[in-house]
Amino acid sequence: MATETFLPDNKPRCHWGFSDQMMLDYHDNEWGKPLYDSRALWEKLMLDGFQAGLSWRIILKKRAAFRLAFCSFEPQKVAQFTDEDIERLVGNADIIRSRSKINAVVKNARAYLAMQQAGEEFGEWIWAQVGGKPIQHIGPVPTKDALSERISKDLKKRGFTFVGPTIVYAWMEATGLINTHHPDCFRRAQVVGGA
């Protein structure tokens, strides 16, 4: 992921953070920043599910529409979606209109709430999987690993769908559970420091 490209601020970044201003802002301010809030973690996991087979840039462009369509990703509200709601979303051109992905979000809201009712807070649960602090990855970045495979299986046992190991790994990167910023990227040290 190394890059020799610099912006006027002269800061080295991961190679993908240069494609346009939207991706630059996402890279510099959001991606890889440790996220602890359960609802926000769940939202990111749902968006990573929608990204499957697509580019993250598409998801970012549609993120506001996703939030509107899915009630700001409030699991309590999404869990109550009916077949009529799903049909409405399948017809919503502002989001990704994949019936299987939309159904997964509704099912995953119910699984999230079931965890909560069983005394498992989603954020606490996922951070316990990495020992409570971000894993500092060095070297070639895989699309999945043994940890993402285990977490994927654990989520599926809890009733989640569309949470395969590749989706889970990308989610772990995005939410700072694992720091895969390139060693030369200025964000790597900031993420290590919790920023």
Question: Is 27 flagged in the annotation as binding?
Answer: yes
Q: What is the DSSP letter of 191?
A: H
Q: What are phi and psi of 178, to 5 degrees?
A: -135, 130
What is the distance between the alpha carbons of residues 136 and 119, in angstroms, rounded to a whole number? 29
DSSP letter string over 38-52? HHHHHHHHHHHHHHT
Question: Is 181 flagged in the annotation as binding?
Answer: yes
What is the distance between the alpha carbons of residues 10 and 186, in angstroms, rounded to a whole number? 10
Is the distance from CB of 50 to CB of 59 less than 8 angstroms? yes
3-state secondary structure of 96: coil
What is the distance between the alpha carbons of residues 122 and 126, in angstroms, rounded to a whole number? 6
Q: Which residues are annotated as a binding site?
A: 14, 27, 181, 185
Q: Which residues carry a binding-site annotation for Zn(2+)?
A: 14, 27, 181, 185
